[in-house]
């Protein structure tokens, strides 16, 4: 009876050692997974920051495009006004010369 109890104790002790070894391996796996997860979260946060910066850059570029388009339209208006003024002055000169020739 005592021999059987000692054998059972030794068997349970060996199982306990194996379980502890398994537990150490599991904790090591958890540690590696946690480090991987932390790294992924840092990279994800960095990508979100990159996206935020790029959205700001897009907004600024759209604003510049809008400003340039308005400037271009204003220049076109000035050019049209200059052309219109030039043609108007030619027309007035023609009218004046026609009026002076008919008199």
Instruction: Tell me the pLDDT tens digit for each residue of 88-103.
Output: 676 677 777 766 665 5
The rounded distance, in Å, linking the Cα atoms of 18 and 11 is: 11
Instruction: Output the pTM of the full model.
Output: 0.57
Instruction: Read off the pLDDT of residues 47-76 as tens digits, 9 standing for 90 and up.
Output: 999 999 999 999 999 999 998 888 888 777
Tokens 């004046």 map to which residue?
Answer: 96
């Amino acid at each position: 009876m005592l021999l059987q109890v000692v054998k059972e104790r030794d068997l349970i002790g060996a199982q306990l050692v194996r379980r502890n070894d398994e537990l150490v391996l599991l904790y090591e796996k958890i540690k590696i997974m946690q480090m991987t997860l932390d790294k992924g979260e840092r990279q994800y946060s960095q990508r979100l920051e990159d996206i935020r910066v790029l959205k700001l850059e897009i907004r600024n570029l759209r604003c510049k495009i809008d400003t340039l388009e308005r400037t271009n339209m204003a220049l076109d208006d000035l050019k049209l006004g200059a052309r219109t003024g030039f043609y108007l002055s030619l027309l007035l000169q023609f009218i004046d010369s026609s009026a002076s020739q008919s008199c």
